[in-house]
Amino acid sequence: MEIGLYGLGRMGANMVRRLVRSGEHRVVAGNRSPGPVEEVVSEGAEGAYSMEEVVEKLSAPRAIWAMVPAGDVTEQTLLKFADMMDEGDILIDGGNSYFRDSIRRAEMLHERGLRFLDAGTSGGIWGLEVGYCLMVGGDADAFEHVEPALKTLAPPDGYLYTGGAGAGHFVKMVHNGVEYAMLQSYAEGFELMQKSQYDLDLHAVSHLWNQGSVVRSWLLELAESAFEKDANLDSIRGYVEDSGEGRWTVLEAINESVPANAIAGSLFARFASRQDDSFAMKVIAALRGEFGGHAIQEASTKYPEQP
């Protein structure tokens, strides 16, 4: 099939490559800066050096997949494409947008006669080789139109039409919330082993757990790789950002009265990772000093070495 893809970051560029390598699709690839376009053109894509050129090079009904950061960038990209497209054309948001924004955008695009798909996309930098897991919501007929591309991008059984507008991004949001909790669980377990009385080889343990254990996973394979490169992770600062999906998952859990304890805890742990000297911990230390006479360390005191 013929498809345009705009936004050639780490995932977008590799998605273009996977589509091109299949030999089954004509891919028009565009990006705000020309460098990434030139790279994928050298590998068989057709380049577009502006959003207008992406639209011009596609025939009706056009299908354009946007892989840009969530938020206002996505909003402006979709609006600009919508101004240039014709009735019946398809816009696909493959970023990590909030599903309620996707519902609103679908309604806005429908008023213009355009079709919309929200495509939750998972796979990261490994997707080029192993494929992308695709969770797709929106117009069913639009899904059927782009299904050949989805089949190429995904591994076997790796894509699913999840329902109406917003459903794809909703499922991806929950997926990322679950990911938060899984990462936190592994992190706590490895810290417990690292601080134990035993001189454990965490690379060997992570490799062992991937051999038939009930906790084996691709994330654990990545842990194995990380410990192989740096046994004690000495080169890494324990600072972890959150990209939004974990917060949205917790908010929806509150809206639906779902006790998402592990996901909420993992989100708050990320907040804690960014505090060099937590004010909350200062309050606890001060109160313990007030009610129990427990020793309080001055702010200038160096933190003791961890065992």
Q: Per residue in 71-128, pLDDT tens?
A: 999 999 999 999 999 999 999 999 999 999 999 999 999 999 999 999 999 998 889 9
Active-site residue flag, 302: no
Strand partners for 165: none
53, 75, 147, 179: the catalytic one is 179
Is pLDDT at 307 greater than 50 in this prediction? no
Quick one: pLDDT at residue 37? Answer: 97
Q: What is the DSSP string of 252-286?
A: HHHHTT---HHHHHHHHHHHHHT-SS-HHHHHHHH
Q: State mean pLDDT over 197-201.
A: 96
The per-residue pLDDT for 303 is: 47
Sequence-distant (≥ 6) Cβ neighbours of residue 47 within 8 angstroms: 28, 29, 30, 37, 38, 40, 41
Q: How far apart are CA 280 and CA 44, in angstroms?
A: 55
242-283 pLDDT, tens digit each: 878 999 999 999 999 999 999 999 999 889 888 887 777 677
Q: Is the pLDDT of residue 209 over 60?
A: yes
Whether 157 contacts 91, CB under 8 Å: no
Structure-token pair, residue 36:
């990434």
| The pair of three-digit structure tokens given for residue 227, joined into one six-digit string | 């410990």
Average pLDDT over residues 165-186: 96
- Rounded CA-CA distance 187/253 in Å is 23
Which member of 172, 224, 245, 252 is catalytic? 172
Per the annotation, the verdict on 179 as an active-site residue is yes
Supply the pTM of this predicted model.
0.90
Least-confidence region, from 1-15, 21-35, 270-284 = 270-284
Q: In the predicted model, what is the mean pLDDT of the chain?
A: 92
Share of the chain above pLDDT 90, in %: 80
Backbone angles phi, psi at 63, to 5 degrees: -130, 115
HEC readout, 191-254: HHHHCCCCCCCHHHHHHHHCCCCCCCCHHHHHHHHHHHHCCCCCCCCCCCCCCCHHHHHHHHHH
